[in-house]
Amino acid sequence: MTTRPAVALLGLLALTTLSPAVAPAHADGPANPLQATDGFYADPDSNSAQWVKDNPDAERAPTIKKEIADKPGALWLGDWTADPKAAVEAYTKAAQAENKMPVLVTYNIPGRDCKGESDGGADSPEEYRTWISQFAEGLGDRPAVVILEPDALAQYDCLPDQGPTRLELLHFASDQMAGHPNTWAYMDAGHSSWIDSGEMANRLKQVGVEGIRGFALNTSNYQTTEDSVAYGKAVNDAIGGTSHYVVDTSRNGTGPKGDEWCNPEGRKIGVPAQTSDDADMLLWVKNVGDSDGDCGLGEGTKAGDFTPELAMHLITGE
């Protein structure tokens, strides 16, 4: 249900974004990386930014640049990232040079997307452990937000023979992030219309959520921020009230269209990256304008392809 992004080159310069309000530090928790940064990092080599660079004279280019490419988003890394340590190190250093907070996503769990549009991931548990360890090494002590493995926990039982191994690997990923106090890591926890909050809390505890900052909601989906916050509070209560969460607002401006998830029509971008009174942060985790796959408004595209048509649909809500 989540889509793989196309490969993007890492840039060394960030686009300026408005500073968010700084979330309060928690006396009983690790360092607050938001206090060491001033706003969120906009990837100058995102798929949308690259399209604008390649098509400067296109009629839609100024609108896509202003409404999407210039806005802070996330860098997704997965089985297409041969050297995760180098990629993470370069990206977080580029963000640090601009005093911005980078958001990164790991998307390499074996059996990713349960043979769906974004099928893939590491070829073995051993390969994944090596890959995620290298990813973590690249973080160093630089501020970062990391979203761990979209859909992996919500879908963990779709491959029955791999379920226990997946839980172990997700716990391993949590443990790797826990060693970096300036990283706020969030285990992906699906969305508000998917898994019962009590069940999701139980799964989160099984994968070590209490050792990291918390969990992520609505990645690449369309659930409203209001519903996501209500669900996040219920999940956190079931965990024991000790966790935190973030919400992906990249495409939730008009909420969901029933249970359609693959490039549904009539959806719209949501509020850009910012801190929140309820969630830690509202973020654009999904790369806006990237297709979910060969379906809906993205017919004829592959998961992760950027198209200006999809981008404009999300800008206008049509």
Catalytic residue selected from 43, 70, 188, 292? 292
Per-residue burial over 102-113, b if 16 or more Cβ lie within 10 Å, else e, is bbbbbbbbbbbb
Q: Say which amino acid occupies 137.
A: E
Catalytic residue selected from 113, 188, 227, 290? 113
287: left (phi over 0), alpha (psi -120 to 50) or beta: beta
- As a residue count, the chain comes to 318
The separation between CA 143 and the C-alpha centre of its own chain, rounded to angstroms, equals 16
For 9, 115, 225, 314, the CA distances from 50, given in Å and listed in that order, are 9, 29, 29, 18
- Cβ neighbours of residue 72 closer than 8 Å, sequence gap 6 or more: 17, 39, 40, 41, 42, 100, 103, 272, 273, 283, 284
Q: Rounded CA gap, 233 and 91, in Å?
A: 32
Q: Rounded CA gap, 155 and 83, in Å?
A: 27
Per-residue burial over 221-251, b if 16 or more Cβ lie within 10 Å, else e, is bbbbbebbbebbebbbebbeeebbbbbbbbb
Q: Rounded CA gap, 33 and 48, in Å?
A: 27
Catalytic residue selected from 43, 70, 151, 290? 151
Q: Say which amino acid occupies 204.
A: L
Give catalytic status of residue 113 as yes or no: yes
Q: Say which amino acid occupies 121.
A: G
Which residues are catalytic, by number?
A: 113, 151, 292
